[in-house]
Homo-oligomer: A and B are copies of this chain.
Amino acid sequence: MLRATFIKPTFLFVLFFAGFSAVAQNKTVNVSDFGLKPNMHTDGTPAITSALSRCKKVKAAKLIFPKGRYDFWPDRATEKYLFTSNNDEGLKRIAFLLTGLTNFEIDGQGSEFIFHGYISPFVLEKCQNIAFKNFSIDWDRTFDNEGKILSVYKDSIDVSFSKEYPYKIENNLLLFTGDNNTLYPYGSLLEFDPVRRETAYMAEDYYTGPNVPVKSIGEGKIRLYVPGIKGTPDNIMVFGAAQRFCSAIVLSDSKQIKLSDINIYHAGGMGVIAQRSRDITLKNINVTPRPNSPRMLSTTADATHFANCTGKIVFDHCLFENQEDDATNIHGVYVQITKVISPNTVEVKLKHEQQFGFDFLISNMSIEFATDSGMNTISNNTVLSATRINKEYTLLVCKNKLDKNIRVGDVIASTAGYPDVLIKNCTIQKNRARGILLGSRGKIVVEDNVFHTAGAAILFEGNARFWFEQAGVMDCIIRNNTFDNCNYGVWGNAVIQVGSGIEPAWRDKSRYNRNIVIENNVFKQFDPRILNIYSVDGLTFKDNTIVPSTSYKSAYPGANPFVVNNSAHIVIQ
């Protein structure tokens, strides 16, 4: 058909692009080429390891899954010791480990990814321009355990478990089990209301640890002895996972990451945890319990979490519900000075166990020295070198002499960049603890969201004595949101709250959060407490609508709606 003498320029042009397209098509890798077909119910992990290796080798643009169910076990998964901020460190088995990949996409095409046991679904390290889309993440057996409360006595309760939550009793201790005698230890208890499908009204955490005396009271039924325990028959007692070992998606030292159309039905940890990364977009990410299941919990920790991230973080049309901790927490990390060694050298320590190994200090990074008491910046400096001693300690040499006021106990954090944050069109509800913890010094916009949280919907955190999380907003707009009956639990004192770790004596000397505008929101309130702040410079509350509600009975009926302490430039209209 092709007659050379008659080829027109336009035809040549078409040929050129067909060739280009063929090359691009070659750059799509299909998991079925590695023997992995949908609905096989066998371990897909080795095929994924091979497929990702191929993708890296051929610089593939895309890895695709024919739509269906895929199962992944840890047995033959890639292994790596991970230090992930606010998670438990450890030698982990990883289904999808992406290291140093660029310009790459994983498209599940609507597939279900079902994980079995202690396996981390997705870990990205040093990647750039990566997209994940169109799949769900779930486990066949959850890391938490949920039982129905049968009876409540003084200092004990009776609980029944369905066969979704196998267990054994040894030496009067309750051990939750899975395949191959895998154990699923619990560390705390929390009651859920199965009708509202949220934490039970004003239910408290019982931090029992795993060693609670129990006895069997029949098949699938136990009596659990916890001093002072309370509960309501027919409610669900959730036995919270003792560790955050298998977060669904871990992003480390990566940039330009787009996650879209992903359902995270469960994780033994967080939904998405990003650290030392920049430019992350979450669109249509749904952290929610598996549909049509009786499960109360989705993930066993925060839906999302961001530590020392920069660039832009965008949440668009996300649903974060029923996770066992906050919907998001965006913060930096403080290290503490443990020794002043020379005029420009200090030894510093990562303090919180779940921050161990979180190396963020790098040469030429600009840093702040701050007090641990009020988190006031003492001075700024620049890193000359940072040498890790071990996962806890680092030797830090600064370019400039230390300020004379620096002392052991002061903290240091990066000031090299803070993310701009946009949270819009999201629904955040029914989870344990708070909604969003805003701790970035970049521009923050929170708009068009619906909050129905058991604790504060929005918390301004930051803490240099326990959590060691650097925070303190500088420019934050909260507008056009609906706060729908928040604070029906014990984790807050107002819908929007400062909860920074500044001791009362220091609050007047600190202005840790600044320039907050709260406008055009609707507050549906069964409880009077709307705002509770301290150590703020600049907050305007205007044009908001407050609607009374009878959805719950207020535990604080006479409380002051607006509590403002040790602050300046506060306008409440």
Contact = CB atoms under 8 A, between A and B. Distances in A.
Interface of A: 46, 49, 75-79, 81, 89, 91, 93, 170-173, 209, 211-213, 389-393
A76 B390 contact: yes
Contacts of A393: 75-76
A226 B212 CA distance: 19
Most chain B beta-carbon contacts within 10 A, residue among A79, A93, A212, A390: A390
Nearest to A91: B81
Contacts of A49: 389
Given A81-B81, A81-B91, A91-B81, A170 B391 contact: no
The number of times this chain is found in the oligomer is 2
18 contacts: A46-B389, A49-B389, A75-B392, A75-B393, A76-B393, A78-B389, A78-B390, A79-B391, A91-B391, A93-B390, A170-B211, A171-B209, A171-B211, A171-B212, A171-B213, A172-B213, A173-B211, A211-B211
Contacts of A212: 171
A93 B217 CA distance: 45
Given A76-B390, A81-B91, 9 more contacts: A49-B389, A75-B393, A77-B390, A78-B390, A91-B91, A91-B391, A171-B212, A171-B213, A172-B172
A78 B390 CA distance: 6
A548 B513 CA distance: 86
A76 B394 CA distance: 9
A353 to B, nearest CB: 13
A528 to B, nearest CB: 40
A170 B207 CA distance: 14
A89 B393 CA distance: 22
A502 to B, nearest CB: 27
A171 B208 CA distance: 10
A187 to B, nearest CB: 13
A-B complex: 7 closest residue pairs judged by Cβ atoms: A79-B390, A171-B211, A76-B389, A173-B211, A76-B393, A81-B81, A79-B391
Contacts of A75: 392-393
A393 B74 CA distance: 11
A392 to B, nearest CB: 7
Nearest to A74: B390
A78 B387 CA distance: 12
Contacts of A170: 209, 211
A490 to B, nearest CB: 24
